[in-house]
Every structure is written in C-alpha cells, then in structure tokens.
Chains A and B, each alone.
Chain A
Amino acid sequence: MEPIYSLKNITKEFPGVLALDDVSVDFYPGEVHAICGENGAGKSTLMKVCSGMYMPDGGALYIKGKKAHLRSIADGLKNGISMVHQELSPVPYMTVAENIYLGHEPTLGAVPIVSKIQLIHKTRDLFEEMKIEGINPKSMMYELSVAETQLVEIAKVMMLNSDMVIMDEPTSAITDREAELLFDMIEDLKRRGIAIAYISHKMDEIFRISDKITVMRDGKHVGTHLAADTNTHDVITMMVGRELTDIYPKLETQAGGVAMQVERLSKEGLFEDITFNVRRGEILGIAGLMGAGRTEVVETVFGLRKADSGKVVIDGKPAVIKSPRDAIKKGLALVTEDRKGTGLVLTGSIKENVTLAALDKYKKFGFIKKRSEIKATDGQIESLRIKTPSRNQLVANLSGGNQQKVVLAKWMLADADIIIFDEPTRGIDVGAKAEIHSLMSQLAADGKAVVMISSEMPEVLGMSDRIIVLCEGRVTGEIGKEEFSQKTIMEYAAGIRTANTEGGSIVQ
C-alpha cells in the first residue's frame, strides 16, 4: 500500500536546539500511528512540520507520492492534512457552531452571507454523528469547560474530511467517558481510510488504539514497531534510553504532627464545608473528577481566592491569608495546575523564574546578590536535572517537563513547609514524571507536609499516604492507605458513596 504522507529525512532547528534530526516516517491510510517520546523528544515539532505550521530546514514531504511544500497550516489543509492541537485556540466570543465552521462558513448559495440556520443545523448533525451530547451549538465558546472545548476542537477537525488527521494529546483535558467517544470516532476514521497520527503520554491509550508506534528521543527517530509486536515496558525503555525502574518511588515515612488544618472552608457555587488536614511527613492525595472543586479549594487556601467562611489553621494557630504573599510567609507553596497561566513567566529566563518567589533571600539593600542567585539556580538545575544549555535560557524555549521542573525549583527555593501540588505531572513525560514523584517523596521524607491533587488514578494511589475525595464541592470520603483502591475512589468521586461524616468532621 502507498503511504498517504511520507516524511523523508526531516531536520528542524531552533536557536540552540536541533529539534528534529534526520527523521523519516510514513503514514498509511486507515492506520493509527502513535508517536511516543519524552517531552522535548521532538514529537510536537514533527507534527507541526507535518501540518505545515513549521517549515523543515532539511528533508522533504511527500503527499500521496508527490513532493509537497507546505508553508502554512492553510497549505496543509488544502493538501488534506488537519491537526487537533495540544494547546486549545478557541475564539471565546463566538458560538460553538461559528468556531467549528470558522473559515468554512456555509453561505446562502453564491451570496457570501453566512447562513446562521444552516450553521446550527450542520453543527447539530456533526455532533450527532460524533455522538457528542450536552454541547449547545449556540453556546458561547467561553462558557464551555476545558473538556468541552477540547471536544469542539476535535469536531472542528472532523468536519474538514481530511485524508490525514494529527492529534496532539487530544485526551489531556477530557474525562474518560469523553475519551471513549474519541476512540469510537478514531475507529470510524480508520474505517473511512483516513491516516491518523496520534501523540499521547498515556501508554494504555496508545496500546489500545494504535496500529504502529514510532518512538523518538532527543529529536531522533529511535524506532518504529507494530503495536502488536511490542509492549509498554519496551516502548518506555526506548523513550528514556535506559531501564526505568519505578515511576512511583514512594518512600515509607512516619507521619508527624498536623501541619495544616482546613476547617469548614466554603465558597458559594464552588465548594462547601471543606475540612481536612495534612501532617508533616505525609503526602495527602486529593482525588475527584474534573470540576469537583479541588483546584478552587487549594487556590483559596493559598490566598488566590477569597473564602466566604471557614478557616485555615497552620501549626495550631489560625492563619489570616489574604494573598499568596501572606501564604508564602506562613510557609505555604502552591505548584499550580496551569503551568503557562500561573506557574511561569514565559518571557523570563530559568534563573528569573526559579528565584521569583524567594528573591528576598538573595537581596541586600534592594540589590540582587547575583552570585548567590546564580549558585542557587545552578543548584536547582542540577538537583532537578533540568535540561538546558544555560541558566539564562528563556523558559518559553524549554519542553513541558523541563518547564514543570522550573516551577518546582521555584517552590523548592521558597523553603515552604507545606507544599501543595496541583496536577504536578499533567502532560509531561514518563522520565520527568518519575523524577517529580521522587522529589515529592523526598520532601515528605524530609518532614514537609505535601498535598497533591491528581486526576491520574495510578499516581494518586502510588504516591499518597492518605487520600481525600471531592465530589461537587464537598469532601465525600477519606481513605487510609489500607483501603486504597481505584474502585473506592471512583465511588466517592462519583458521589455514589459518602463517608460517614457529620458536619464535615472527618474520622481520623
């Protein structure tokens, strides 16, 4: 069979980094081809070259056997190549239907007037075909949740009837149920003879849907195998280039005294009556479904939001926290969920980001003590193994995993006693994941109190000493290590089961 799309000896370079080094891949019709690799391995760059977003510096693209020069995404679309991007780019003040048909609006015959009725009808039909429920085509884009936005982005690509669809982490922001929908759609595309390139960090997903797996490392093509001929362990080994022993390296620790007690914290419309505590030396996992209010709770504790009622007690003393500044003074740190939104100053260098929260430690009469700042930064780069040519590299030029490490480094320097991680490993690769887990484990072993929000079940189960579960803004259960099981968590998270709690007091 003839490949739909061939990449031959592709090379792409960014200042200081060779992102793709002589990479060749073929995509065949009716085949799901997974691209695996750690963050920074060059997967996303490869897909951007595929879609026409980037022009390669060397090598050639062949579409249906003919040499193609793609200069833009529009060129790619013309040649039947479309892409679901990892970063969502909706137009917030337009309706769902208008977003989906942006640039392809149905018109009143030859008259260039957009037919609103047709727009809505076509969108309804499309949603029906894709089995998407619960999204109103007339809703404004900004009213949608992240998961719904992701579905709309997928619908947008489905509408195009391309020969090849590229999906860059399409499930990173959607729930399992919606992921199932997506897999059904992918099956359907396969049957229609469409080629699919699929990027994901989730191994189970990859093995479930893909026919072929290509592994990349450091911009190079490591190997391509039929999914049936390989397994998770081998793929991970190829990705990291070494045997990976344990991605949940949780050390046994002895929990100490209560470091922070959150009492009956409420915020109308977001969460109610939240009570929990965290002890020194333990990792408290917070589980729950998307929209359960987990992020909102920790943001409130950290002073990013204002509570309606309730209090936070730190080391036995009530703490008044009105801003992150207050929180940091009380020994709190929050590694936020949204790396680019609230974690990093993308225009700044690694050094500038790493010392941001602790800059007061490196100053004298308002002057920055450059030498000690550099020393502290280099220390973090080394201990967290941040891959970078220089401490002055802009964080915008780092891969996702390394960016996340920079955020962690920032909070490590802040010397916090209570560290809250909100989805610390979302969208990053296995190698970096293991490193971050071992860091968390080490923090707990050093006697710090660690709180971790995670939507990944194995992570919650693998890393926590104790788990609380939230459902629709309430604590529905607390689970001790002996009771850990995916089923228990899911039951609490779905609200099917509620712990025997009264007035928010938790059985300890």
Chain B
Amino acid sequence: MMKIKPGSGGATMGGKATVKKIFSTYGIIVAFVVIVVVMSILSKHFLKADNLMNLIRQVSFNGMIAIGMTFVIMTGGIDLSVGSVVALAGVITASFQTTDKPEQLMMLIPAILMGLLVSAICGLANGMLITKGKLAPFIVTMGMMTIVRGIAMVYVNGRPIVNFTDAFKVVGGGYVGPIPIPVIIFAVVIVISILLLNFLTFGRHVKSVGGNEAAAKAAGLNVDGIKIKVYVLNSVLAGLAGIALASRVNAAQSIFGEGYELDAIAAAVIGGTSMSGGVGTIWGTVIGTLIIGIISNGLDLLNVSAYYQMIAKGLIILVAVLLDRKNK
C-alpha cells in the first residue's frame, strides 16, 4: 500500500484519490485490520468470542489510562506518574474493602470515591506544579511518579491487601450478562471522553492549548486552568483503572502499575496523538490500546518464546506507526 504513487491523490482526482484518502485518514485502522487478520489466520483461537471478550477486558485497564494520557499529550504535556497512581488508588480503595480490617470497612461507593479523590489530588499536584510552578511536565510527573509510589508503599508497608469484600470483587471480576464489568467501565469512559473531546468546549480548549498555547492565551482561554483539569482527569482515570485492577486480581499491591505509563503513551501515539500537542482522537487511542493488547494476546496464544515476543512487540508497534505516518 505504500507503493501508491505520491501525488496521484487529491480530492479532485477521482477513485484512486478516495483510496488514498482512506489510507491517509485511517492508516491506523488498516494496520489494525492487518494485525487482526494475521492473528486470526495464525491462531484458530483468536477470533473466538470468549477470547475477544477476554482480550477487551485485558486492555480495558490500559485503555482507561491511555485515554487520560491522550488528553495530557494533546495539551503538549506528558504524565509519567499514572502507573504509581494506579497503585495508590488501588491500595486506598482496597484498604476500605478488605475483611482483614473489619474496623474500617466502608460502603463500596465511598471507598471507590476515596481512591478517586486521592488520585485527583495527585493530578492536581501535577497540574499546579506544571502551570503555577512553570516546571516541565516530564520532570514534575517523574518526581510525582516516585513520590506517589512511595506513599503507596508506606500506606501498605509494602504488603499486598487481600481478602476483599464480595461487593468489591465484583468491580473487576463481575459480569453484566456476558460482559465483564471492567469492559463496561471502559466503554463508559470512552463515551464520556468522546463527549468531552468532541462535543464540549473543554475538548476544543484542550486542542487549542496543545496546538498553540500562545494563541490560546491570546484568544482569552484560561490556559493554566485547562491544563490542571487535564492532569486531574488523567489521574482520576488512572485511579479508576487501578481500583478495577486491584479488584480484578484480588489483591492491591503498592508495586502495581509499574511501567503502565509507557504502555499508555504508546497506545496514544500509535493511535495518532501527536507528542507535540494539538492532535489526537479517542477512537485512535482505543485502536492503539487494542493493537498493543492484540499483540500480547496473540503472541501468547501462538506461544512465541518470551525473547522473540519482545522483538515482535517492538516491531509490530513500529510498523503500525510507520504505516500510519507514511500515508499522511
């Protein structure tokens, strides 16, 4: 598909042009379809309904974080602290939902809100330091990554929290009909994010701040406020993922979520989010998340040796992005 002659496109040029236009706009979908087709040819288990549901549940945690990350990257920032927030939110909520500590049991919803509140505070700290402190997002969130991880470790003294209440087990492990609850949470997050980004003024502001901060400011936008909101949103989504994940694996650990920030960034970038800001879509990030998930799932199904898996994952990600960019 890269052989299409440059310059044969253009809206005025008929059939060929339409093909090229589809490629240039939806290159990542093409990559996605290719990966799906290849995987389903190689493994007869891949397309089974069970496996697909299993796959979507596996990616839903990273997906939530990647969507938050998309907003952050679109403002021209980055957030390395999400992995630690995953752990902190997980242990906070879990600590109020374990039968090991009957004296501090809470209702499920307040316990979840506690976790999310703490996540929001982490995001607020990120946002304030970046906007009011005028520090680089990379540095701020790298510092926060360590601080938040440390707080999570102190909170549980390095030990896992286990023996959850039945109510809490449902959050990550339950089903509504045939659909796992994390998948439903993920779907809700997608819908809300699409509303935020495409239908609310908030999304327009995010795009503008990332596209040209100076112009956004000159047009009267509250640039600092927008950035702070974005970091809070991102942290809350990471927290949500952390809570669901803790419930899913039946344990909350302070070491959870290490390296998640990189998967989230990768998903956003594969999905076409520009690291320099201003450009990105929710559906792109969802596809990016799926691509990363499919690669892991597919390679596991195919029992590719662990060493080769690493190489294969890296290659597939690079090729997917290349395929996308080549056609732009």
Determine if B217 and A347 form an interchain contact, defined as CB atoms under 8 angstroms apart.
no
Contact A16-B10, Cβ < 8 Å, known A345-B207, A348-B211: yes
Determine if B218 and A367 form an interchain contact, defined as CB atoms under 8 angstroms apart.
no
CA distance A12 to B10 in the complex (A): 11
CA distance A370 to B12 in the complex (A): 27
Kindly identify which residue among B10, B200, B208 contacts A368, using a CB–CB cutoff of 8 Å. Answer: B200
Determine if A325 and B222 form an interchain contact, defined as CB atoms under 8 angstroms apart.
yes
Determine if A343 and B215 form an interchain contact, defined as CB atoms under 8 angstroms apart.
yes
Stretch at the interface among B168-176, B250-258, B272-280, B286-294: B272-280
CA distance A342 to B199 in the complex (A): 25
Determine if B204 and A356 form an interchain contact, defined as CB atoms under 8 angstroms apart.
yes
Contact A367-B199, Cβ < 8 Å, known A324-B220, A352-B204: yes
B: interface residue count bin: 20 to 34
Stretch at the interface among A129-137, A358-366, A482-490: A358-366
Considering the complex, give the chain A residue whose CB is closest to the CB of B9: A15
Determine if B201 and A360 form an interchain contact, defined as CB atoms under 8 angstroms apart.
yes
| B210 interface residue per 8 A CB criterion | yes
Determine if B218 and A346 form an interchain contact, defined as CB atoms under 8 angstroms apart.
no
CA distance A324 to B218 in the complex (A): 6
B199: chain A residues within 8 A (beta carbon): 367-368, 370
Write out, one digit per residue, whether chain B residues 196-213 have a CB within 8 A of any chain A CB (1) or not (0): 000111101101101110
B205: chain A residues within 8 A (beta carbon): 359
Considering the complex, give the chain B residue whose CB is closest to the CB of A328: B220
| B192 interface residue per 8 A CB criterion | no
CA distance A224 to B195 in the complex (A): 54
Contact A345-B216, Cβ < 8 Å, known A356-B204, A363-B201, A368-B199: yes
Determine if A356 and B216 form an interchain contact, defined as CB atoms under 8 angstroms apart.
yes
Determine if A366 and B201 form an interchain contact, defined as CB atoms under 8 angstroms apart.
yes
**Nearest-Cβ distance from residue A301 to partner chain B, whole angstroms:** 13
**Nearest-Cβ distance from residue A329 to partner chain B, whole angstroms:** 8
| A94 interface residue per 8 A CB criterion | no
Within 8 A of A (CB), among B1-53: 6-7, 9-12, 21, 24
Considering the complex, give the chain A residue whose CB is closest to the CB of B218: A342
| A357 interface residue per 8 A CB criterion | yes
Determine if B217 and A345 form an interchain contact, defined as CB atoms under 8 angstroms apart.
no
B202: chain A residues within 8 A (beta carbon): 366
CA distance A359 to B222 in the complex (A): 13
| B214 interface residue per 8 A CB criterion | yes
B311: chain A residues within 8 A (beta carbon): none
Determine if A347 and B274 form an interchain contact, defined as CB atoms under 8 angstroms apart.
yes
CA distance A363 to B205 in the complex (A): 13
CA distance A356 to B203 in the complex (A): 12
| A18 interface residue per 8 A CB criterion | yes
Determine if A356 and B221 form an interchain contact, defined as CB atoms under 8 angstroms apart.
yes
Determine if A368 and B204 form an interchain contact, defined as CB atoms under 8 angstroms apart.
yes
**Nearest-Cβ distance from residue B86 to partner chain A, whole angstroms:** 28
B306: chain A residues within 8 A (beta carbon): none
B221: chain A residues within 8 A (beta carbon): 325, 356
Contact A57-B6, Cβ < 8 Å, known A324-B218, A324-B219: yes
Kindly identify which residue among B11, B207, B220 contacts A357, using a CB–CB cutoff of 8 Å. Answer: B220
Considering the complex, give the chain A residue whose CB is closest to the CB of B276: A347
Write out, one digit per residue, whether chain A residues 307-332 have a CB within 8 A of any chain B CB (1) or not (0): 00000000000000001110111000
Contact A324-B12, Cβ < 8 Å, known A360-B201, A366-B200, A368-B199: no
- Not counting A16-B12, A324-B217, A366-B202, a sample of 5 additional A-B residue pairs whose C-beta atoms are within 8 angstroms of each other reads A13-B10, A367-B195, A367-B201, A368-B201, A414-B220
Which A residues fall within an 8 A CB radius of B?
12-18, 57-58, 302, 304, 323-325, 327-329, 334, 336, 340-348, 352, 355-357, 359-360, 363, 366-368, 370, 389, 410, 414
In the complex, the 4 A-B pairs of residues with the closest C-beta atoms, listed nearest first: A347-B278, A57-B7, A345-B211, A347-B211
